[in-house]
Amino acid sequence: MITHLGVIADGNRRWAKEHGLPSIEGHKKGLDAIEKIVDAARRVGIKYVTFYVFSTENWGRSQAEVSYIMKLAETKILSYAKKMVEKNGRMVILGSKEHVNPKLLEAIEEAERITAEGKDITVGFCFNYGGEQEIVDAAKAAAEKGEISKESIRQNLYHPEIPDIDMVVRTSGEERISGFMLWRASYAEFMFIKKYFPDMEAADVETIVKEYEKRNRRFGK
């Protein structure tokens, strides 16, 4: 059974373009897909779901789109956190604080605080996240503590309590991981789905689980 499902949430802008809508509508629709996936994952017993929603490279997009994404995150994060509390879920944000405005950082901290006791499922959002940067930051922290080892780096990853990923799913038909959780995904299974992220439904989680159960994970042995 999948313990930790990673989702590279790709295709919001292309979904919007195909529907004759501005790209910001694709990001808004993507939020609905997140809720559907989390609810379905919780029902089948998946304990961790992590979404790749905004990379450190995404700052290079148009100023209007980036500003909208930041505002959307700021206005939605606490309302979603409150829904997580009702469902006994926990929310964590993985990524750098650099460039993120203070008001959004406050909302992130509050969302993590009010959901901290959630036990049924942990939902992670890789936000302002880079997989290489996470490893660099972890190595620096380990060095400051006087030890560089595989275990010390692991202990200094963003939210180190979150386990390795069992299955990474990328939507939109693209077949690359774009730096997503490089350390935790080192022995993950991969599945690439052609539909855009806003079109993801609860039934897709069941398909992912069935596909995972067919895999033979050998971990290099």
Neighbours of 157 (CB within 10 A): 18
From the candidates 58, 137, 164, 199, which is the catalytic residue? 58
Look up 216 and say whether it is catalytic. Answer: no
Taken in order 134, 136, 140, 142, is the CA torsion positive or negative?
positive
Report the distance separating Cα 96 and Cα 85, nearest Å. 25
Token pair in block for residue 167: 């299955």
From the candidates 10, 12, 156, 204, which is the catalytic residue? 10
Amino acid at 84: M
Residue 131 CB partners (closer than 8 Å, separation 6+): 177, 179, 180, 181, 182, 183
Look up 88 and say whether it is catalytic. Answer: no
Active site (catalytic) residues:
10, 58
